[in-house]
Structure 1
């Protein structure tokens, strides 16, 4: 039933507008809650991961996740709708999600030229590439706050474990990840684990890190408009990062000038409630291109190196569009066409 309702909202502009209007009335308190969470310590992960309803600033519901629509609107100094479906972070392979094509909005925004080419094969809608979304988010921490925290933490090893999503739990050998961190931590003053909000509710996982002296941070809840801003400051606090899978954050880290390594761990995704939507949309070609593109990124980031390589910059541009940053007026012009 939920999926049927969503499909109706997606294809009907009047119903979409009504739905957003109702959410804004019902969830008005989330605006204030996001402001409150924006004032909390970046270490207060337990507060920023708590559930909160969505207060949409844009007509396309998906655009509001992680504070993306709010970040773009602030960047352009406007409260107008974005008039586009924005692809949700990094999408690898030829897959173009049905929502992107069917949503009752005339345009699509994405990260890179590669994604633009895939999308144009699936729809006649105009496509606009804007590069890493994190560029458009304001920093949560001021320069002074960042300097103060850096002085407190010293040289920071930041770790981004593979994360779960709705109805799908990411499972990996955590002892193996910790062993790798331990083998590198002597080069650093602090180890910080940045957990996705769903995983930060996992007490066993959190304790496995806290018990050996690691600090915990989180970019916050998916409906928190500070998410991208908080993530930006978290990445800027790092001197080197470790990940155990490919995700949107990889390109963001390179874009923000931080060296990193991806260790090739096996990640199992355990589906609950028979929810296979994350996998069902991919045909054979989409699955094969997903695999090959993931391998290409893994290979580029497989070495423990304190320098960002030319290969990594090329990969970050290919998949995240780091050369595609747009000025406010350029984005405004696209959404007004």
Structure 2
């Protein structure tokens, strides 16, 4: 294990040290962070480069991962919760039976996830912690843009194809045949007025990837940096503008699109994920054993097949299978959430 993981997990296990670090980063970075977040809130939907730039770390939640993508922020705003969640919130869809190693180390006794199926896995893997399913996180976030702004954008863009290329991660680059993907986007997009390419913030700063899509006349957008609390609200705006959504590999956004009643098409491609070093490769592989990886691969293949047909609607089977993994039936009301986190 890398030293940074050891330090992070040692901190997560020690409440006083963890709380000290939380307040340290808030005091050091909160003002600059908030100013930049407010500035980015008003940026054009197409200003993907500015939206993707680094943000200073200024946590609003004590668990580090709870500050990713704005999921915790909007869950709390929805329910009127002002206190810290004091739980580890999974930062997206986890396939197979993989459990992030950090979840074992945080001293808080709860885990937040999306589905009952995932909750059962967590109960089996970490029985000493209570797991809570709240459904697809995007349910709790409204679109970042006002109705008038959304109407104006829709009038400008017309019929929209929204594409999510499989994205890189920190220290792990993803690659695939860009030519084949672009040719497929052009084939599908010929019946649409506009094509939006939603780039993850790491890829949005890659000039080669920018040029590959921009040179075809596609519009580039990004939901923003991972620590931008408006990430999920910006993502919802992108999805609501779309008439059809598309990707070349399933991800958390797949279920979000279906939940928001946007048909989804997966163009099947071989994806290569390469860590930048031997150490990072060990870190990347540390969360799963062989059997877990096999189940993940099977589930990825299953969803790729499920959405392999290009269609303008969502089949009952697609919706039902997606609902199981993203927890459509686990949505909580404001009162239910406040009962879990009473003020």
Report TM bin, short chain.
Answer: over 0.9
1:217 to 214, 218, 221: 221
What secondary structure is seen at the aligned counterpart in 1 of 2:94?
Answer: coil
Decide whether the 8 Å contact of 1:300 with 1:312 is kept in 2.
yes
Count of aligned residue pairs for this structure pair: 337
Partner of 1:95: 98
Decide whether the 8 Å contact of 1:86 with 1:100 is kept in 2.
no
**Distance in 2 between the 1:116 and 1:278 partners?**
23
Decide whether the 8 Å contact of 1:76 with 1:328 is kept in 2.
yes
Decide whether the 8 Å contact of 2:275 with 2:284 is kept in 1.
no
Instruction: After superposition, give the CA deviation of every residue in 1:197-244 in whole Å (9 maximum; x if it has no partner).
Output: 000111111111111211100000011111001000011111101100
What secondary structure is seen at the aligned counterpart in 2 of 1:220?
Answer: coil
Aligned-residue CA RMSD in angstroms? 1.3
Partner of 2:317: 311
1:114 to 91, 113, 117: 117
Unaligned runs of 5+ in 1: none
After superposition, residues 218-237 of structure 1 pair within 5 angstroms as 218-237=222-241
2:27 to 18, 25, 28: 25
Partner of 1:334: 340
Partner of 2:9: 7
| Displacement after TM superposition at 1:336 (Å) | 4.6
| Displacement after TM superposition at 1:138 (Å) | 2.4
**Distance in 2 between the 1:58 and 1:212 partners?**
41
Decide whether the 8 Å contact of 1:112 with 1:321 is kept in 2.
yes
Unaligned runs of 5+ in 2: none
| Displacement after TM superposition at 1:9 (Å) | 1.2
Instruction: After superposition, give the CA deviation of every residue in 1:224-270 in whole Å (9 maximum; x if it has no partner).
Output: 11100100001111110110011000000000110110111000001
How does the TM-score come out when normalised to structure 1?
0.97
How does the TM-score come out when normalised to structure 2?
0.96
What secondary structure is seen at the aligned counterpart in 2 of 1:198?
Answer: helix
After superposition, residues 117-266 of structure 1 pair within 5 angstroms as 117-124=120-127, 125-266=129-270
Decide whether the 8 Å contact of 1:254 with 1:313 is kept in 2.
yes
Q: Does residue 1:290 correspond to 2:296, yes or no?
A: yes
**Distance in 2 between the 1:334 and 1:300 partners?**
35
1:43 to 41, 46, 49: 46
Decide whether the 8 Å contact of 2:81 with 2:338 is kept in 1.
no
Decide whether the 8 Å contact of 1:194 with 1:216 is kept in 2.
yes
| Displacement after TM superposition at 1:329 (Å) | 2.2
Instruction: After superposition, give the CA deviation of every residue in 1:302-326 in whole Å (9 maximum; x if it has no partner).
Output: 1001011111111211110112111
**Distance in 2 between the 1:295 and 1:93 partners?**
12
**Distance in 1 between the 2:320 and 2:65 partners?**
29
